[in-house]
Structure 1
Amino acid sequence: MTVHSSLPTPHSSRILVVAPSWIGDTILAQPLFVRLHERGAMIDVLAPAWSAPLLQRMPQIRRVIESPFRHGDFAFFARRALGRQLAAAHYAAAYVLPNSWKSALVPFFAGIPERIGYQGEARFGLLNRRHKLDEAELPQLAQRYARLADPAGSTRVPPLPAPHLASSREQQQAARHALGLPLDASPVIFCPGAEYGPAKRWPAPHFAALAQRLGSQADPVWILGSAADQVIGDSIVERAGACAVNLCGRTSLEQAIDLIAAARLVVSNDSGLMHVAAALERPLLALYGSSSPVYTPPLSTRAKIVTLNVECSPCFQRQCPLGHFKCMEGMAPDYVLSQSRTL
Structure 2
Amino acid sequence: MAKLLVVRFSSIGDIVLTTPVLRCMKQQLPGITLHYFTKAAYLPLLEANPYVDSVHLLTDDWRAGIRQLKNEHYDAVIDLHHNLRTWRLWMDLKIPMYRFPKLNLQKWLVVQTKRKALLPDISVVERYFETVKPFGVHPDGEGVEYWIPEGKGFPAEKLPVSFQHGYMAWAIGGAHATKKMPPDRMLQLAALIPYPIVILGGREDADVGAVFASQYPDKIVNLAGACSLHQSADIIRQSRLLLTHDTGMMHIGAAFRKPMITIWGNTIPEFGMFPYYGSRYQRGKQSELFDIIEHKELSCRPCSKIGYEACPRVHFKCMRELDLTEIARAVHRRWKQVTA
Normalising to structure 2: TM-score of the pair? 0.78
Residue 164 of structure 1 corresponds to 145
Task: Find the aligned partners of 1:81 and 1:261 in 2 and give their Cα distance.
Answer: 39
Structure 1 counterpart of 2:4, one-letter code: I
- CA drift of 1:238 comes to 4.1
Task: Find the aligned partners of 1:200 and 1:119 in 2 and give their Cα distance.
Answer: 24
Task: Find the aligned partners of 2:185 and 2:155 in 1 and give their Cα distance.
Answer: 27
Contact persistence 1:188–1:214 (CA under 8 A) = no
From 194, 200, 212, the equivalent of 1:236 is 212
What runs of 5+ residues in structure 1 fail to find an aligned partner?
1-11, 70-77, 121-134
1:112-140 per-position Cα deviation (integer Å, ceiling 9, x unaligned): x32221589xxxxxxxxxxxxxx734754
Q: Does 1:34 align with 2:23?
A: yes
Contact persistence 1:35–1:149 (CA under 8 A) = no
Task: Find the aligned partners of 2:76 and 2:121 in 1 and give their Cα distance.
Answer: 23
Task: Find the aligned partners of 1:280 and 1:85 in 2 and give their Cα distance.
Answer: 35
Q: Does 1:56 align with 2:35?
A: no
Q: Does 1:297 align with 2:274?
A: yes
- CA drift of 1:162 comes to 1.2
Structure 2 counterpart of 1:281, one-letter code: R
- CA drift of 1:203 comes to 2.5
What runs of 5+ residues in structure 2 fail to find an aligned partner?
103-117, 282-288, 335-340
Residue 81 of structure 1 corresponds to 64
From 186, 192, 213, the equivalent of 1:207 is 186
Residue 100 of structure 1 corresponds to 83
1:176-195 per-position Cα deviation (integer Å, ceiling 9, x unaligned): 26x93358453211101111
Larger fraction in helix: 2
Residue 47 of structure 1 corresponds to 38
Task: Find the aligned partners of 2:329 and 2:124 in 1 and give their Cα distance.
Answer: 29
Task: Find the aligned partners of 1:57 and 1:304 in 2 and give their Cα distance.
Answer: 30
Higher RCO (C-alpha under 8 Å, 6+ residues apart): 2
Residue 171 of structure 2 corresponds to 191
- CA drift of 1:28 comes to 1.5
Mapping 1:60-139, distance limit 5 Å: 60-69=51-60, 78-106=61-89, 108-111=91-94, 113-118=95-100, 136-137=119-120
- CA drift of 1:268 comes to 0.3
Residue 17 of structure 1 corresponds to 6
- Give identity over the alignment, percent: 25
Contact persistence 1:108–1:115 (CA under 8 A) = no
Normalising to structure 1: TM-score of the pair? 0.77
- CA drift of 1:335 comes to 1.0
- CA drift of 1:288 comes to 0.8
Residue 180 of structure 1 corresponds to 158
1:50-72 per-position Cα deviation (integer Å, ceiling 9, x unaligned): 22222234332222222225xxx
Contact persistence 1:143–1:160 (CA under 8 A) = no
Bigger shift: residues 158-167 or 239-248: 158-167
Residue 301 of structure 2 corresponds to 313
- Calculate the aligned-residue CA RMSD, in Å: 3.0
From 227, 240, 260, the equivalent of 2:203 is 227
